[in-house]
Structure 1
Amino acid sequence: MAKGTKRARYTSATKRELPNITFDRATDIVISGKIAEGLRERTIIDYKKIVRYFTEWLTQKYEDMEYVNDVTIEHLRAYIHYLRYERRRYEGHTNIDATKQPVGLSETTVNIAIRTLTAYFNYLYAEGFIDPNPVERLKLIKQDVDMTNNFTNEEVARILEQPEQRDFVGFRDYVGISLLLDSGLRIGELVGLTVDEIDFSAPQIVLGGGRTKGRYFRIVPISTYCAKLLKQLIEENRAHFDTDSVFVSSLGDQLTTNHFNKRLKFYAERAGIKTKKVTAHVYRHTWAKIMIVDKKIDIYTVQKMGGWKDIRTLRRYVQLSTEDLRRSHDEGSPLMAIRDSRRKRI
């Protein structure tokens, strides 16, 4: 190198010459990588769907958009705005009339899309397919804390009264609802439950890594009452169907998450619960709240039983109502404790 000359330094601002990659090719690259990382099939399906929604919107709105290298943070922010304020819920769904649905997706749904797209572009950047990284400064939207994301004990009692246990479907649904409240299982874990995953001697449910959200082996304790219900349901299944699935339709097919969520909503409406969101996930919130707030089980034990990877997620789910706060205050007030001790001395 000649004296007095300086070597050009590479910085993050330096534009690298990279080959143009189509969206289809980029998606194939990311999906192949995620499969190699061991992501569950359900997660892979969700990845494909969310990325497809984004690329379809992008190519429709920007006709000259052809390569993933051309995506900027401005495009991503415009898409987030579209999801929040323009996209109709259930748009493109084959079984739901989207024209009757409200406009604007929930904050939770939008954040799921942001997380997926962030992982998508981070992978392409880390593997050297794009530069710069368009999601480097992309942030999640702020979510309001939902104080009604669980049921009260009175609502749970009313719901449990609704299934007609004298017929197969009603009894199956009663067992499913009981198991959700007894174990905190995710809906996918429940509808996919098989006979060999139940240890009746413990009693407990044993889920392998391929069956849980974080691919962690998990043991889920259940009550003897719930174990008895599961035994009865399995006997009923075997009397009519050749299946190892625990929760099946009247034709013997494994239940889908969508079908079971519809059943949960049906029973909640019959119980007079019409203003709250009703899904299996709300039952999971309810289970966690009762375990921690009512039963005083420590949050780390509940985290392990429920399979939460991040305890902050669990804390967000367990919101205290005004009634909970009042009861906790009355039970723990230092002033009232001192007054009570003085009364006892008198």
Structure 2
Amino acid sequence: MEQIVEKFLRYLKIERNSSEHTRTSYKTDINQFVDFLNSSDETRSAAADINAITRLDIRLWLGELSEMGLARNTIARKVASLRSFFKYCYKRGHIEKNPAHLLLVPKKESRLPKTVNPEGIERMMELADGEEPSDHQNLAVLELLFGTGIRLSELVQLSLKDLNFKQKQILIQGKGNKQRIVPLGKQSFNTLKRHLNTRYLLFGIKTDADAKKAVFIAPGGQRIYPRFVQRLVKSFIEKVSEISQKSPHVLRHSFATHLLDAGADIRVIKELLGHTNLSSTQIYTHTSVEHLKNVYNQAHPRAEQ
């Protein structure tokens, strides 16, 4: 079982080009399921032989997760992990029957994305602006995340060859190895150019051939990594907003919401975000509706009467 899981993770990395975060989540979910099988006398045989795993085993595990009080979104993700894993196992001939086939995914809770308002974004950029090479990079990271709406995984993968300053655009390697072109606004363009002028000063003892091709450099000189960006974004959002979530994805949410509030076509936003389906983008319309309600309540003379 352990060897099959490792093969599955290699498949995700090499053939699906899944991010490290995705692979880690899948591995955690699958290992938790295996631990559940090992902990019960009724399912121990299934833990020893992957072909002995049944749909009932999976349902028993999901029932235990529900009793533990896990959120529906978390359980839905774990179901998706198992479905993907067993689909792979079936297609590669590791199992004769797929126990997760047609397994229903719990309906996710509807939660509006957290965003930083325009005033907060402006203040954050002012605070990040400094004279040191590290300041130049910090500002460029924040401007690029908010100015283009790219994902954290897409940001850390950026290389110099992906930049096209002549056309003021960048090539993004998205989910599933899908590529898209995103435009650079004036602020993103200017801060990125300034960063590149002092980028070499961030090189260090860990700078290798890959780091020399990278747009952003972590302390020590290697290519920037997700945890560094997460800490950076959190530290600046904390200074300008009281929202509970303070991750790079908040800037992606803010990018989409501000565009929609300003009248941008949702289909254009879908392409900029790299969403496969419009349904993924439509969550931002709910945020925009809330914005419209707030404006109405504040501005209409009879709204509160």
Matches within 5 A, 1:64-79: 64=45, 65-79=47-61
Aligned residue number for residue 273 of structure 2: 306
> Tell me, which stretches of 5 or more residues in structure 2 are unaligned?
301-305
Matches within 5 A, 1:54-203: 54-61=33-40, 62-64=43-45, 65-84=47-66, 86=68, 106-126=71-91, 129-163=94-128, 165-203=130-168
Checking the alignment, whether the CA contact within 8 Å between 2:113 and 2:250 is kept in structure 1 is no
Matches within 5 A, 1:1-346: 23-27=1-5, 30=8, 38-40=15-17, 42=19, 46-61=25-40, 62-64=43-45, 65-84=47-66, 86=68, 106-126=71-91, 129-163=94-128, 165-207=130-172, 211-241=173-203, 243-271=212-240, 273-294=241-262, 296-320=263-287, 323-326=290-293
1:190 and 1:33 map into 2 onto residues whose CA distance is 22
TM-score, normalised via structure 1 length: 0.72
TM-superposed CA distance for 1:40, in Å, is 0.8
Per-residue CA shift, 1:253-296, capped at 9, x if unaligned? Answer: 2221122112211112222x3442111112111111111232x2
Checking the alignment, whether the CA contact within 8 Å between 2:137 and 2:199 is kept in structure 1 is no
CA distance 1:75–1:165, shift in 2 (3 Å): farther
Local SS of the residue matching 1:302: helix
Whichever structure has more helix as a proportion of its residues is 2
TM-superposed CA distance for 1:182, in Å, is 0.6
1:238 and 1:35 map into 2 onto residues whose CA distance is 30
Per-residue CA shift, 1:209-268, capped at 9, x if unaligned? Answer: xx3113212111111321111111111112442623222123222221122112211112
Checking the alignment, whether the CA contact within 8 Å between 1:148 and 1:276 is kept in structure 2 is no
Checking the alignment, whether the CA contact within 8 Å between 1:189 and 1:212 is kept in structure 2 is yes
CA distance 1:63–1:173, shift in 2 (3 Å): same
Is 157-166 or 185-194 further displaced after alignment?
Answer: 157-166
CA distance 1:233–1:32, shift in 2 (3 Å): closer
Q: Which amino acid aligns with 1:231?
A: K
CA distance 1:132–1:205, shift in 2 (3 Å): same
Checking the alignment, whether the CA contact within 8 Å between 1:285 and 1:318 is kept in structure 2 is no
TM-superposed CA distance for 1:54, in Å, is 2.4
Local SS of the residue matching 2:214: coil
Checking the alignment, whether the CA contact within 8 Å between 1:183 and 1:222 is kept in structure 2 is yes
1:216 and 1:284 map into 2 onto residues whose CA distance is 18
Checking the alignment, whether the CA contact within 8 Å between 2:133 and 2:201 is kept in structure 1 is no
Residue identity (%):
22
1:25 and 1:217 map into 2 onto residues whose CA distance is 32
Two-structure CA RMSD over aligned residues (Å): 2.9
Q: Which amino acid aligns with 1:51?
A: I
CA distance 1:249–1:57, shift in 2 (3 Å): same
